[in-house]
Structure formats: structure tokens, C-alpha cells
Chains A and B, each alone.
Chain A
Amino acid sequence: MSPLAAWIDGARRVVRAPAILMGVWALTLIVSVPLAFALRAMLAQHLGASLAADTAASGVNYDWMQEFAEQASGLGTTFKPTIIGFGAVLDNASALLDAAPRPAVIVGAASVYIVLWIFMAGGIIDRYARDRPTRAFGFFAGAGEFFFRFLRLALVQWLVYAVLFGALHPWLFDTLYPRITHEMSVERTAFLVRVGMYLVFGAMLAASTMIFDYAKVRAVVEDRRSMIGAIGAAAAFIRRNAGAAIALFLLNFASFIAALAIYGLIARGSGRSALLMWLGVGAGQLYVLARLWIKLTFWASETALFQGRLGHAGYVVRAAPTWPDSPAADAI
């Protein structure tokens, strides 16, 4: 199976399981809505009955935003102009690549979200690997079956990311970059150096993510219990199919960039009326759905490639779970 065929097959598998896409979107809302309500309460309290709210309700009241920021704490400190439109995407991408710290409450929410993804991952990959409906019980059976295995995998994963963000990143950006650019008096050159370092760091992140993704895929498809073994098997698969695995990764990454570009074109700002602001919120949720679709397509296409290269599309070692009949049914 070619990388393109795997990507198309993966995309098809995601489209054929819309409940999963809607499920992870709901999951994203479940984590984000409570915090949005908390922030709403802060904003409402600060605005009170002020006429400043009239302009804020139908566009940006930058003076008020700054007054709010001056007295904000915790979650409120993240309410800045950078949240508007495509600025939000740049802010988060930049923060990730520059390892910028976030408030504890945001780190906490992200941790909960990641743990929920770890829980869901088994069910999601199992559904895509079987390429046929597994129903809710099959999905959650897969999720439960692999949750603790993937938690063990996550320990290794977090260790690797700790090295990447805790050692490699500071070395690249706090030691090497200043050393290389110390006497550099041309901004364009310094920017190219930084881009180079983003590429190095990004490649390390991508390589790690790819190995852990295939480890999950192999764990599910081959019902592996040893996560160390799964990592080794994933690395072996990538080594044997390096061109295809990398090409597939780049295809998925290209779809991610395309989604960003489209969102960048339509999300220029917050809108200059209440209606436009709400349309912007709606467009934003479509963007979130696209991001989720891309994340799921990563897994589905990697599963398709793995199965395709082994010549058993849709084959999973572990038997499909069946809903147990009740004792009453047995008696009948």
C-alpha cells in the first residue's frame, strides 16, 4: 500500500466512523466549556453594568480588555488580544515550539484532556483497525482493554518529551541559538537559524510521535501487552518502511497545514458585530473539528499503512468483543 493510498484509506475510515469524530469533539467541549464558563464569570463580573459592555458585545473594546488584564489572575491572565481569530492558532503553535509556560489551570486542563485521549485511543484505533462498526460496547471494551497499557506507554512517551522539552529545547534555543547568533546583525539570517532549530526540534518531536503512534497501532492490531515491545516493533516497522512512514506523516502534516491556512484566511479577526462574532465562533468550531479529523486521520492512516504493508487490512488479533447475553437469555 502506498502512503497516498494509506492516507486516503485512513481518511475514509475516519469519515465512516463519524461517531468517533463527534465523540472526541464532545470530549474537547467537555474539557473546555467549564473553563470558558469560569472565564465568563470573571468577564461578566468585571464588566458589571458598565456601558463598556455595549461595545465589547459587538466587537473589540481594547481599552476594557487592558483594564481587565491589569486586574486578572489565574485563568483570566490568558484573556488577551492573542485569542482573537487566527492569532489564537499562532499563539499556541508559537508557545509549543518556544516551550512557553502556561498558567497552571491551563496545564491542568491539558493534562486531563491528554489522559482522556489515552483512554479513548484503544477504542479509536481498534475501530479503525477493524474498519467496521464496533458499537459503543466494542469501542469502550477496546478503550478499557488498552487504557493501562497506553498509560504505561505514556510514561515512556512523557519521559521522551521531558528530555525533548527539558533538555533538547533549552540546549537548542537557550544555549546554541544565542551562541550562533551572538554576533549576528542580520535579522533574516537569525530567523533562518531559528527556523532550522524549529525543524530540528520539530523533526525530533515528529519522530517520537510517529514511533509512539505506531506503537499504539501495533499494540492494538497485534494485541501486544508489552509496551516496550510495541515501541521496538514500531521502530522496526518504521525502519523497514521508512519512506512510506515518513511520506504518510508528511501527507498528514500537509493536511494540517492546509487546515491552518484555510482557517487563517477566514478567521482574520473577531468580527465587528455580535452576529459576526458568533459566526466566528461557529467557524472556529469547524476548525476544531478539522483539527480533530486530522488527528484521527493520523492514527487511521498509520493503521491502514501498517495493515496494508502486512497484507491484512481490517485484521485485528484480538477477537471482536461481543455483548454478553444476560443470564435470563441463557436460561431461555
Chain B
Amino acid sequence: MRRLLIAVLFAASAAVAPSAQDADLRSTASAASMAGVMTPPLSPRNANYTITARLDPATRTITGSETIRWRNITARPAADLQFHLYWNGWKNTRSTFMRERALSGGNDDRRRRPDEWANIDVTAITVAGSDRTGTRRFITPDDENPNDETVMSVPLVQPIEPGGSVTIEVAWTAHVPRTFARTGAIGNFFFIAQWFPKLGVLQEDGWNCHQFHAGTEFFSDYGVYDVSLTVPAGWPLGATGVERERRDDAGGTTTHRYYQEDVHDFAWTTSPDYLVKTARFEHPRLPPVEMRLLLQREHASQAERHFDATRTTLKYYGEWYGAYPYGHITIVDPAFQSGAGGMEYPTLFTAGTRWLAPDGVTTPEGVTVHEAGHQFWYGMVGNNEFEDAWMDEGFNTFSTARAVAQVYEPNYLALRYFGGFVPWVFRDIALSRETEGNRLAGYRRDAKSDAQSTPTYRYFPSTGGSITYNKTALWLNTMERWLGWPTLQRALSTHFEAWKFKHPKPNDFAVIVNQVSGQDLGWYFDQVYRSSNVFDYGVQDLKSERDGEQYRASVVVRRYGEAIFPVDVLVTFASGERVTEHWDGKDRWKLYAYDRPSPVVSAQVDPNRVLLLDLDYTNNSRTLAPQGRSAATTWSMTWMLWLQDCLLSWAALA
């Protein structure tokens, strides 16, 4: 049955659904979607939030109340309700988030003033009209840390049966921190995310409601969000969804009401310093999207760069995977030092740029494409980011690199000097999609740190990103180079179509890839997903000896790493003859011998660099006419200039 379903989805995605729709229907649907209404419903909508909240910028306090209408869509009764209280992860240094963050290093949180920490305090909770405030308690399903208060359990008087619904009323107050994990305030800039008491996801094996971890993000059910936010009058506000109503209140405040259906989170931002700009995305086969940009004034000249990068994402992700259905998107350019940049939320994301942003460098384009891309991988395909973060971050890193390569090449390396303020562009170094876009250097450093199949929240905090983002992008790009883009594109779009507005697991993707490719790729996933083994193939030896009229050549290729992948071996002779061998890559080494009228010149394993996960590509080739000394001389002389300048800089003080 599942195979049949996938085949149907595969056919549907191959046909590129939007092109088959009637233009009028699309236009009507787009108008509704631009108002936050999705007809017909795209998701189960089993967790619906109506929220009212007020921000006091002076005290950096949020006072809120919410009504949650939750439906049990599993086959098991719910005996309790479990809520995320993420902001308690930033309450003190004893939370699980802060303990893990300390392992990462680089954050001196001891310098924080007392008012720069956060908390969220549930002051009242009623379930189906019954006051359950006194029964709430903190639980620690992941690590038994008694000081962690990021998950709250509320036992129920009556279990909620499968298919049953309940209304929950919650009141809370929260203190906005100096930014942690992209959430918080600096000056008059506020970015507010993961900010309300939020239900976990009830699954067949119970609640999936992890504590807040330093290296992972979030997971929640889809629903309808109707949120009224009161902020100082005159402060532009951006949020998930569409503004339906704006009301000036007494006391110099304004209440903004935002509404969105079929999303799984709600974030918002406000600041008196925002410039607000708008533009529109249009495409012959994809629904139009209104783009709203909240921009820092010092970045006013970069508005079009933000819009262009967002258009790039909507176009390419839309063509490759499926249409963006919401009809609107909000791009937030966060304030300097806010730490809020580069994060995704439904229909809204934070980009990130610098005051000095030279052309030819993908700032802000890279981060804009990436975070806009999360609307697809995270927003629409809602995998569990606590456990399988690679399914959105990795897919999206791969897709970002691919999209950037379509539009923004050459894309040069830039380094920053003088406290990180002054960029210098190295126009000799055009960054390649395959290595830089997929972040090979970071993966090389951390390749063995964790097996990807380990739940993401248990990755070592400082190296987990390399496994989540980099490794996935590299193995997806390896698949593209090996199976071809059409096959991988069909696999990804089929997966997208099958799992949008749902919660896929890793095996769901593997099943689809096998189905679409027509191959059992379990062996590949065993190595790239279930193992921390690394790939490293190389040429161990290359010889060519004269034997009468012939030359006897031998090439020894070796598998230095534990992981296995079939590779080509290219042997080139002085006559220009090129022989390509296909090695299954399983044995530790293999000998290729030749008798030819001309000597061998070079041998290369994986000459087309299909296997992007190979950690050492320098050892993949060997030549009998080496240029190593020549290159080393030139580069050591170049380096000597740096050294001489360094000496002169210090000698200026002598």
C-alpha cells in the first residue's frame, strides 16, 4: 500500500502539480492564502492557539494568555498534557540548555546581568474548565536534570481518548532575555520566538516533548494561530501569518492581530527602527507570494538583495520540491549584535547581513536563501528537529548550496578584519558549491564525532552541526553526482509531497529514495546515516618500468577509511590514452597492472569527485611528473611576504 502511495505521489510530483491547476482556482486560493487562510486545510490542525500578549519594552516583560484547542490524533489516550517552556532553559546556568552550551565553549554567560536572563512562569492553567494550576510539575524526560524546567506536565482528570478534543487555558508571564538562541532583545529590538507555553507532540508511543537542548531546535503539531500582540504605538511589527487587524489602544500602544492556518509555530518581532519594504514573487507555474521585509536602516541599500535571494528560494525550491502555499512571507533583518539572525519560523525568517557587504560575496544572500528554504524543509515538512535535525537542516543546506550555485556564482571568499568589521574579498577564491556550499571543511574536522542516526539532541554540542548540516548535504550531493539530479530531485519532491504538513521519520525518506531510484540503497544509508565511519580513498603507489618495447605500469589504490563506496580509477598514459576502471571499493587495496607502449603518467581515484565525503582528496591522485615542489616553492614565497609584513609590523615598534 505504502509503495502504491509513493508511486502515486511520485507521479504527481513529476507532473509538477501547480502547472496542472486551473489559473482561476489558483488565483482564488492565492488571495485566501495571502490572508492566512488555507483552503482546503493542508494539515490535521490538531493544535490551535489563540494568544493574547502584551510587551512592556521598559521591563522587557511579556504578559500573555492563550487558549489551546487540542485534538488527540493518535490511537492512544492522553493521560497528561506536556508543554514546552523553552525560555526556562535560559533561566540560569543549571538548565540542560546551559550545561550543554557550556560544553560548546565560546559563550561567557557569567558576564550576563541578572536582567539578561529569561524565564517563563505559568500563572494559571485550566483544562476543560478545570483548574489544574496546582498539579503542574516539571519533568525531565531526557537527562533527569532536576534543575531543568523546560518541560511542564499537567496530569488530566480524565484521559483524552483518541479523536477527543480539549480546550486548555493558560496564563503566563515571561522575561525577555538578552538574546539566547536567536530570541531576545537588544536596545529597542525585540525578536520573540519559542515564547509561549506550547504543547509537545503526542505520538503512538507517548508524548514527544524533549527538554530544550543547546544543539537542537523544535517540534510541534500543525494548527491555526490567531495571535493579538500589544506593543508600543508606531513600532513596526512582523509575525508569522498575516495582519488582520490593527487597533490603537489607550496608553500609547497598538494591538496587532495576526492569523495563520496550517503552521506549527508562531514568532514575532518589533522595533521602532525597522524600515518596512514590500515586493512580490511571481512565477508562471507557482503561486504568487507577497514579500515583506523588515530592514535595519543601515542596510537600506541591501533591500533588493534580500528580496532577490528570497525569490531565488521560492523559485528553485518551488520548482524542485513543491509550491510555497502561504502567499506571503516576512523577511526580518535583525539588529546588529542581536544574535537573532539566521533562523526560521513559519512564514517568517531572520536573515542577517553586515553594514559592509561587498558584491560577489553571498552575504546576505546565503543566509537568506537558507532560512527562506526552511519554509520547505521544517515549515512544510515538519520533521522532529530534536531527534532528526538533519532532515531539515541537512536537506536545506544541500538545497541552499544548489540554489546559490544557480544564481550567485562566482561567489568569493571574504575574510573580515579589525574586529570583524572590515571585509576583504579574495577574488582568487571562488567558493564551490560541492565543497564550500556543503561545508566539507567542517565535516572533515568533526566527521567521527557522532553517527548521524544518534538522536540529534544527544550529539556532542560543539560538533553536532557538522553532522546535521554538513554531512547530510555532502551525502545528498554525492547521491546527486552518483544517481543524477533527476533521480534525486524526484526522490526529494516525492518525499516533500508525501510528508508536507506531517512529521516524517528517517526511514520514510529512505523508503522513498529506494522506490524512486529503483535500487536498495540500504548499504549507503548504513554508512552515511547509521555509522560515523569516514571515507578516504587514495592512490598508494604508481610505477612505470620499461620492459623491452613495452612499459609495465602498476597502480595500487587503497581504501584508507572504514566506509565503502564504489569509485572509478582513472589511469592516464603519456600517449594520451585514458583507462577508467570501476572499483567496488570494498577491499582494502587493489592492484591494476598494464603493459602499454607508452609510460603511465598519473592515476586518480574518483576523478570526477563523486564521493564528496572523501576526507582527503589530495591523496586521491598520484603522478610521475609531480609539481609538488614547484607549488610548495611558489606558495612558501607568497607566505613569506605575509611573514615579512608581520615582522615589519612588529618592528615598527622597535
Contact = CB atoms under 8 A, between A and B. Distances in A.
A205 B630 contact: no
A112 to B, nearest CB: 9
Interface of A: 28, 31-33, 35-37, 39-41, 43-44, 46-54, 56-57, 59-60, 62-64, 66-68, 70, 78-79, 81-98, 102, 106, 109-110, 113-114, 117-118, 121, 154, 157, 161, 173, 181, 183-188, 190-191, 194, 198, 205, 209, 268-272, 274, 277-278, 280-281, 284-285, 287-288, 291-292, 295
Contacts of B189: 185
Contacts of A67: 444, 616-618
B629 interface: yes
A82 B627 contact: no
A102 B642 CA distance: 13
Nearest to A83: B642
A84 B296 contact: no
Contacts of B641: 83, 88, 281, 284-285, 287-288
The DSSP consensus for interface residues of chain A is helix
Contacts of B632: 40-41, 43-44, 47, 53
B651 A114 contact: yes
A50 B621 contact: yes
Nearest to A191: B421
A60 B428 contact: yes
Contacts of B642: 78, 82-83, 88, 91-92
Interface string B42-70: 00000000000000000000000000000
Contacts of A209: 652-653
A35 B636 CA distance: 9
Contacts of A35: 640, 643
Contact of A56 (B620, B635, B647): B635
Interface residues of B, number: 76
B621 A102 contact: no
B602 interface: yes
Contacts, number: 269
A39 B424 contact: no
Contacts of B624: 49
A190 B639 contact: no
Contact of A295 (B298, B618, B652): B652
A81 B635 contact: no
Nearest to A88: B642
Nearest to A164: B653
B524 interface: no
The CB with the most chain B CB atoms within 10 A, among A40, A81, A117, A291, is that of A40
Contact of B639 (A47, A78, A121): A78
Given A88-B642, A114-B653, 17 more contacts: A28-B648, A36-B636, A36-B639, A49-B626, A51-B602, A66-B435, A81-B413, A81-B429, A84-B428, A87-B424, A89-B645, A96-B650, A98-B419, A184-B337, A186-B297, A187-B355, A271-B428
A113 B646 CA distance: 11
B628 A86 contact: no
Contacts of A86: 424
Nearest to A277: B634
B628 A92 contact: no
26 contacts: A28-B648, A32-B647, A39-B636, A40-B633, A44-B628, A47-B618, A47-B632, A48-B618, A49-B542, A51-B602, A51-B622, A52-B618, A53-B627, A62-B436, A63-B435, A63-B440, A82-B642, A106-B643, A157-B654, A161-B653, A173-B419, A269-B427, A277-B634, A281-B638, A284-B644, A291-B645
